[in-house]
Structure 1
């Protein structure tokens, strides 16, 4: 087992590098971050037998300390995973965030769970995914039934922004290009409005250079084909094998030009489409729409953020 070292988040947070071999771009690693409960919470907290594994979204990494403390205050052991080629795991010369298939992340998640020791210690596992991480964990749980005891999804990217019909029409074109030009370039479509909304609200800390660019990472045909294939699997129906809690904003705002409503809506996904797609992932799905929430509901303005944590608390009380 590797060595735990101090993390950039400061006191109470540690990180461990998880070697994953190499690919055409060189060394590949994931990074596990942990925040342990204090003694009183561990002994008496309602979630003292629970381990949490958080997976971030696209162009992202783990920095949500309030989310970690929510769980550790209730006795849970909280871990977050910076996937290969993201954040703490990004190495020079790598295409940020690039994979050609989402099941590549099975190795990242397996390495994290081994270090966490959840199964060996007979503890319960809560998977918590945001946006692309929500899609990744949904598909992972469906491929590994019975491992997770609950799945919490924070604005999961379960459907393409253009909708299912456009996705089906676009898929053959994207797949064809992915075969002959997987690392080709796409036009920049992220105009930075989501980042601006977070900065206006004061919920976005300064990030190390390159970890969370204002307009997102460049995207590539191979990666987009992997995402569309994941959306198609969700659309056909999957079973994550455990209860799922899905947290979404009440409304979306198209990110075509800046609008003040972007400070209180999801300007990344079409939340109505995500809500419909979420009904196809489990026999027990709770969908909570949060008025005033951003794409990451836990980075919203104070009132909406409080409602998001209240909804999470209710879901975790059910698990406890």
Structure 2
């Protein structure tokens, strides 16, 4: 069941709608969809008229990147973003932030969002995911053949930072701990440098930015959540079969996450980009990888030049697809 569309914290043309997803042992569970629609003229004449975009955020995150929405509506697409259960607009008092024990559970969130977007008839669907959201959407698209017309992934978390061998060695231990206490607190691994890098380059704070929804050092991670992530990585490593074109954007370089350096303002300090680029080739038959010099983990929060380059790559890619589909 979905509530009414109401004004969103981003203001202006942004609206949000609450999606009720039942209850769990922490109480009522909801997701939240945010929309930004193109003007009448662009929605009928733009190169992406007839396209719907669904965006999903990453870990310890939520949707606040208004410029991403404006990019799509300028091209005539209808833009929607999903704050998954227990994140951002969907986080309720008493809930464990980001808590999940199977990424497949997010199918309920995505399905509810697609229903709330309204009748789509012959409209095409583009999925856009950042970091963990890229993993979530890749797995969803693999399970829903023919549902998406294109997938765009912004630094998707497709492999653990210690590599495939490290992941395989770690998985049995994490699984054992998760069986005993899936919500136990784990040691902190986020030193806050990625958030500092975004502040250094002026990407945050911005309108609608809330630190309680996006803490500087991330939410505390839990064994049940990590087990779900590792299972998702294992599925990617085994090979997915996405049946649509895929565009993957990553930084050209990674930087060490353990000590602050200025290099963190122009590199990915969260993921190992070479591993992500390699893992992305397991997603489907047609994969395009763009490596953007000077980009940070969220390429659309990078400095002006790499950010502009990311938008340029996406626009050429999607408009090329739209032209070939006519």
Which whole-Å deviations, capped at 9, do the CAs of 1:79-130 have from their partners, x for residues lacking one? Answer: 00000000000000000011000000011001000011354x2210000000
Question: In the alignment, which residue of structure 1 is the partner of 2:35?
Answer: 34
Question: In the alignment, which residue of structure 2 is the partner of 1:202?
Answer: 202
Question: In the alignment, which residue of structure 2 is the partner of 1:164?
Answer: 164
2:148 is aligned with 1:145: no
User: Counterparts in 2 of 1:164-203, with a 5 A limit?
Assistant: 164-203=164-203
User: Counterparts in 2 of 1:1-320, with a 5 A limit?
Assistant: 2-117=3-118, 119=120, 121-205=121-205, 207-320=209-322
For 2:180 and 2:203, how far apart are their aligned partners in 1? 41
For 2:256 and 2:155, how far apart are their aligned partners in 1? 16
SS at 1:34 equivalent: strand
Check the 8 A contact 1:19/1:28 in 2, yes or no. yes
For 1:4 and 1:118, how far apart are their aligned partners in 2? 16
Which whole-Å deviations, capped at 9, do the CAs of 1:233-268 have from their partners, x for residues lacking one? Answer: 000000121110000000000111001000000000
The Cα of 1:209 is off from its aligned counterpart by: 4.5
SS at 2:30 equivalent: strand
Check the 8 A contact 1:250/1:289 in 2, yes or no. yes
Ranges in structure 2 where 5+ consecutive residues have no aligned partner: none
Which whole-Å deviations, capped at 9, do the CAs of 1:180-214 have from their partners, x for residues lacking one? Answer: 11001111110000000000111122533420000
Relative distance call for 1:118 and 1:229 in structure 2 (3 A) is: farther
Relative distance call for 1:2 and 1:122 in structure 2 (3 A) is: farther
For 2:216 and 2:106, how far apart are their aligned partners in 1? 25
For 1:101 and 1:78, how far apart are their aligned partners in 2? 27
The Cα of 1:318 is off from its aligned counterpart by: 1.9
SS at 1:2 equivalent: coil
Give the root-mean-square deviation of aligned CA atoms: 0.9
Number of equivalences: 319
- Stretch moving more, 244-253 or 207-216: 207-216
Relative distance call for 1:72 and 1:240 in structure 2 (3 A) is: same
Ranges in structure 1 where 5+ consecutive residues have no aligned partner: none
For 2:95 and 2:231, how far apart are their aligned partners in 1? 23
TM-score, normalised with respect to structure 2: 0.97
For 1:245 and 1:314, how far apart are their aligned partners in 2? 11
For 2:244 and 2:210, how far apart are their aligned partners in 1? 36
- The 4+ residue runs of structure 1 with deviation greater than 4 A are none
SS at 2:175 equivalent: helix
The Cα of 1:2 is off from its aligned counterpart by: 2.7
For 1:262 and 1:270, how far apart are their aligned partners in 2? 13
SS at 1:234 equivalent: helix
Check the 8 A contact 1:118/1:124 in 2, yes or no. no
For 2:253 and 2:96, how far apart are their aligned partners in 1? 32
SS at 2:129 equivalent: strand
